[in-house]
Amino acid sequence: MKDWTLKWMFICLLCFLPLAMYLHLISGQIELSFASYLDSILNFDSKNTSQVLVREFRVPRLLMAMMAGAGLSLSGMFMQTLFKNPLAGPYVLGINSGASLLIALSLMTGVHFFQSNFGLIGTALIGAFAAGLLMMLIAQRLKSQITLLLVGLMFGSFTSAIVSILESFAGAESLKSYTMWSMGSLQQVEFGQLGIILVIFALGIVASFLLVKPLNMLVIGEKSAALLGLPIKATRMFVLLLTALFAGLITAFCGPIAFVGIAIPNLSRILFQTTNHRYLIIGNILIGAIFLLLTDAFIQVLEGHISIPLNALTSIIGAPFVVFLLIRKLR
């Protein structure tokens, strides 16, 4: 696709992003004036209910929707490029499962390892990185990409079985905490936690753009990339660490969110028709953020009538798309 066409598509997405943000903000059950949003930022009054609602609930939920959508989309894109498989992603390959397992162990065994924000992120990151490293080692021994996906799904089933055993021994409060977390939600982040999340996410975005050239070289094949001077092992580890950073950060604070990391990267490739990761990174950030903003806005609209877990809704939307991709790949 020509550069000017891509630029116009990015301009359209950039124009649509503020609209998605606005729809997300007004989707809550309580109507708030525009002045309440401005005052909560410029002149916050802790005694003003409207301003507290904006500062403690609406703004964190908005920012987490954008970061979760963008971060999971980038994680999926990295995995698909690394494994050369359009069906790869942090959820399917068990990276989310690794993060979820360690968080479940911490929540339901009474080990208060992550009372601090750094502990929570560290726990999820270690689990995600360990699972990703395991999948990468297995991938080097498998010739079939479909077999790799099945191994990832089996790993997810294995971790789910361990969690089920933990649930049978957990206390009522621990079980309740884990159940609420496992449903996936953007409401679990407090305003005071946003600082550290934004800093880590921003560092991840900067690191993503540093990977543009190595990712573009991986597209032509690892052997050809190595001949051109790319350090394959170091690149693999860096991609895996960055994937674990995004997946672990989002899983820690939002719970498991399925299929975003598979569907959005493939949608970006279909729309932009390019293998240049400079464009794909920007596209995944924008489309991922818009998708999760609109998805969560829909959940907020229905909150007065029915409570839908975020993980359930993303699965309902994403699963048919993944089936379509699988059929397309097998043809």
Instruction: Identify which has the larger pLDDT, 42 or 19.
Output: 19
Q: Residue 234 above 80 pLDDT? A: yes
Which range, of 11-20, 75-84, 89-98, 140-149, averages the lowest pLDDT? Answer: 140-149
**Domain 59-330 classified CATH 1.10.3470.10?**
yes
Query: What is the pTM (predicted TM-score) of this model?
Result: 0.88
Q: Residue 15 above 80 pLDDT? A: yes
Q: Residue 147 above 80 pLDDT? A: no
Instruction: Identify which has the larger pLDDT, 51 or 216.
Output: 216
Of 155, 97, 106, give the one whose Cα is nearest residue 129.
97
Instruction: Identify which has the larger pLDDT, 235 or 328.
Output: 235
For residue 119, the model assigns a pLDDT of 67
Q: Measured between alpha carbons, how far is residue 46 from residues 29, 39, 84, 260 in Å? A: 21, 11, 51, 36
Q: Residue 44 above 80 pLDDT? A: no
Instruction: Identify which has the larger pLDDT, 153 or 67.
Output: 67
First to last CA, the chain: 25
- Is the separation of the CB atoms in 216 and 277 below 8 Å? yes
The tokens of 80 are what?
Answer: 């698909």
Average pLDDT, the chain: 84
Percentage of residues of the chain with pLDDT beyond 70? 91
Residue type, 18: P
Buried b (16+ CB within 10 A) or exposed e, 320-331: eebeebeeeeee
CB neighbour list of residue 48: distance below 8 Å, 6 or more residues apart: 36, 39
What is the residue extent of each domain of the chain? 59-330
Q: Residue 16 above 90 pLDDT? A: yes
> pLDDT tens digits for 105-136?
877 776 655 555 566 677 788 888 888 888 87
> pLDDT tens digits for 51-92?
778 777 888 899 999 999 999 999 999 989 988 888 888 887
For residue 77, the model assigns a pLDDT of 94
